[in-house]
Amino acid sequence: MFSDGENRRDAWNRLSPFYEEIMASCDENIIIVSHGDLLSLWNAMYLGLPVESYYEVDIHGPAGGVSHMFIGDDGKWEIDSSQS
């Protein structure tokens, strides 16, 4: 990390209001474009994980890839980052 760079907790806190706003009004498809580290935090939020989980798990998609986030028929929140 750069000495003057944003740490993950700060990035999480900055992203959280945007995430809440999107999820509160999410009744259609939405496209989100981001760099990998911030998108990894988004994925953790989407799965309901706490910020501390970022230090224990690696949740990212392929570089330049597209991830599909959806609620499956069984009610599970899913992220599909498979490449086509």
What is residue 57's three-state secondary structure? coil
Give the domain ranges of the chain.
Answer: 8-80
Which two structure tokens, joined as six digits, stand for 12? 């999480």
Q: Is the pLDDT of residue 52 over 70?
A: yes
Question: What pLDDT sits at residue 18?
Answer: 92
Q: What's the rounded Cα separation, in Å, for the pair 28 and 3?
A: 40
Q: What's the rounded Cα separation, in Å, for the pair 16 and 62?
A: 23
Q: Which residues contact 66 (CB under 8 A, 6 or more apart)?
A: 81, 84
Of residues 49 and 65, the one with the higher pLDDT is 49
Question: What pLDDT sits at residue 16?
Answer: 95
In the predicted model, what is the mean pLDDT of residues 4-20?
Answer: 89
What predicted TM-score, i.e. pTM, was given to this entire model? 0.76
Q: Is the pLDDT of residue 14 over 60?
A: yes
Q: Is the pLDDT of residue 81 over 80?
A: no
